[in-house]
Amino acid sequence: MSLVLLELGAVARLTLNNPPLNLVTEELLVELDAALGQLEAADPGAVRAVVVSGNGERAFSAGSDVKAFESHTGAAGRAHFTREEAVFARLAELPMPTIAAIEGNALGGGLELALACDIRVASERANLGLPEVRLAVTPGAGGTQRLPRVVGVARAKELALTGRIIDADEAERIGLVSRVVPVGQAAAAAEQIAADISQRGPLAVREVKSLIDLSADADIGTGLAAEIDASERVFKSEDMLEGAQAFVEKRQPHYRGR
C-alpha cells in the first residue's frame, strides 16, 4: 500500500494514506519526499496549486509514532530528525501554493506538516497543537520556527510550552487556520481555494508566494528590491500579455505558465 498518494493536475492532490492517524513514519517520509520531487519538477502551467490532506476522518496527521521514540536516540535520532526536517522544508519550498485540508487532528508532526503549507483550512472537528513537551520531547520538524511566524511569538510560546491542544475556532481566531468549515468539508474548501488560485497567472502566483516567504526573514529594502526583480520577470511573460488582452476584451484569460 502506498503511504502517500499523488494525483497530478492543475490542482494536484497530495494525500497521506496511513489511516487512521496518518502517522509520519520513516516509510511515509520516503514516499512524501519522492512525491514532492515530482511536484518540484512540474511545469508552472501543469500544476498550479496543491491540496494536502490525510486519508480518513480521524486525523490529518497525528505526527510521529510514539512507539518509535526509543529508536531515535543518539546518531540514529539525529539522522531521523534531519530527514524529517528536510522533507517538511521541501514541502514549504514548493514553488506553487499548497493548501492543507485539516479534517481531523493535526498534532505534533501533523501540525508541523500543515504549517509547511501556505494556507490551512480546518473542519469544525479539528484539533491542533504541538503537544511534544507532554512527552518530554521537542517539536523537531519546524514547529518552533514556523508557528511563531504564523501566530506570533507570544502565542507560539504559550502553545508549545504548555503542549495545549486547541480547537478549530481558536485556531482561526489566532490565525493558525484561515477558515473553519463544517465537518466533512475541509477538502472541498481547500479544493475551492486551489481552484481559484489555478485560474490566476501561474508565474505571477509563484512569484507572489516566493516574495511573501522572503518577507518573513528579509528587511523591507531587500523585499522591495525583490519585488522589482519579480515584476521585471513577469512582465516579460506571455501570460502578462494574455492577462492584459483578456481584460481589455472583457473575457476570461487563458494562462499557460510562460
232: CATH: 1.10.12
Tell me, what amino acid is at 47? V
Yes or no: say if 171 and 126 are a contact pair by the CB < 8 Å rule: yes
Q: Are 44 and 117 part of one and the same domain? A: yes
- Please report the pLDDT score of residue 37 as a whole number: 97
Q: Are 225 and 122 part of one and the same domain? A: no
- Please report the pLDDT score of residue 222 as a whole number: 97
What is the rounded average pLDDT for all residues in the chain?
Answer: 95
pLDDT per position as a tens digit, 125-145 = 999 999 999 999 999 899 999
If pLDDT is split at 50, 70 and 90, which confidence band does 160 have?
A: very high
Cis peptide before 20 (omega within 30 of 0): yes
If pLDDT is split at 50, 70 and 90, which confidence band does 67 have?
A: confident
- Please report the pLDDT score of residue 87 as a whole number: 97
Please state, for a pLDDT cut of 90, what percent of the chain lies above it: 91
State the CATH number of the domain containing residue 76: 3.90.226.10
Q: Are 134 and 220 part of one and the same domain? A: no
Summarize the confidence of residues 110-134 as an average pLDDT: 97
C-alpha dist (Å) from residue 230 to 176, 225, 241: 28, 9, 16
Yes or no: say if 3 and 19 are a contact pair by the CB < 8 Å rule: no
> Which secondary structure element, helix H or strand E, spans residue 48, and what is its range?
none
Q: Are 233 and 107 part of one and the same domain? A: no
Catalytic residues: 112, 132
Summarize the confidence of residues 198-226 as an average pLDDT: 96
Set of cell numbers at residue 32: 512524501
Q: Are 171 and 236 part of one and the same domain? A: no
If pLDDT is split at 50, 70 and 90, which confidence band does 79 have?
A: confident
The domain of 57 spans 4-198
- Please report the pLDDT score of residue 40 as a whole number: 96
If pLDDT is split at 50, 70 and 90, which confidence band does 49 have?
A: very high
- Please report the pLDDT score of residue 69 as a whole number: 79
Summarize the confidence of residues 48-66 as an average pLDDT: 93
Q: Are 106 and 226 part of one and the same domain? A: no
Q: Position of cell 493536475?
A: 9
Q: Are 52 and 97 part of one and the same domain? A: yes
3-class DSSP assignment, residue 74: helix
Summarize the confidence of residues 178-185 as an average pLDDT: 97
> Which secondary structure element, helix H or strand E, spans residue 110, and what is its range?
helix 109-115
Q: Are 146 and 216 part of one and the same domain? A: no
Query: Distance between alpha carbon 76 and the CA centroid of its chain, in Å?
Result: 27
